[in-house]
Amino acid sequence: MNADATRYLDLLEQRIGLLGSLADALVSAGASISAFDIDGLEARIITQQQLCAEISALDSRIDAVQRHCAEQVALPRANDIRLTAPPEDSPLRHTLLRLQAVQSSVNQLNEAHKILLQRSRRTVGALLNSYHTFAVTYADPAAPRAAIGEMV
């Protein structure tokens, strides 16, 4: 395996690790939402933002390696030759399969997280409406109150 291929595999491994960490952060954020742990949720959101920035930076490095490899090989057009997939037992094939699995997992977790946030938003909206309806009942007991018939 040449140096470019090794570098490409290393970058893909890093992406797999970052996506795994992002999946863990999504699971933790969901747990924070369920536990009404706002501080924990905010910490998970910051972690997610950092991981997404790292993934984005890594993707640009992966793109650069791919462009460099394409220039080195100078592949003819796809309709000129038949491009084949990597062999079944190649490290690239195994890495790509693992990458596909972790990407699928992150997509599913992201979708579940989105649904959880939508439900939470509806719940908070309903609670706020209820609070506004009963605002007088749940007024601050320490606040000064006007007596019946007293002008404020």
Q: What is the largest CA-CA distance in the chain?
A: 93
Give, in order, the Cα–Cα distances in Å from 38 to each of 31, 32, 41, 42, 43.
Answer: 11, 7, 5, 6, 9
Cα gap 23→29, rounded to integer Å: 10
On whether the CB atoms of residues 92 and 5 are closer than 8 A, the answer is: yes
Cα gap 93→99, rounded to integer Å: 10
DSSP state of 86: P
Q: What is the pLDDT of residue 14?
A: 95
Query: Would you give per-residue pLDDT tens digits along the chain (152 residues)?
Result: 678 788 989 999 999 999 999 999 999 998 998 888 989 999 999 999 999 999 999 999 988 888 877 766 654 444 444 445 566 677 888 888 999 999 999 999 999 989 988 888 888 888 888 877 877 776 676 766 666 666 65
On whether the CB atoms of residues 20 and 102 are closer than 8 A, the answer is: yes
Q: What is the pLDDT of residue 132?
A: 79
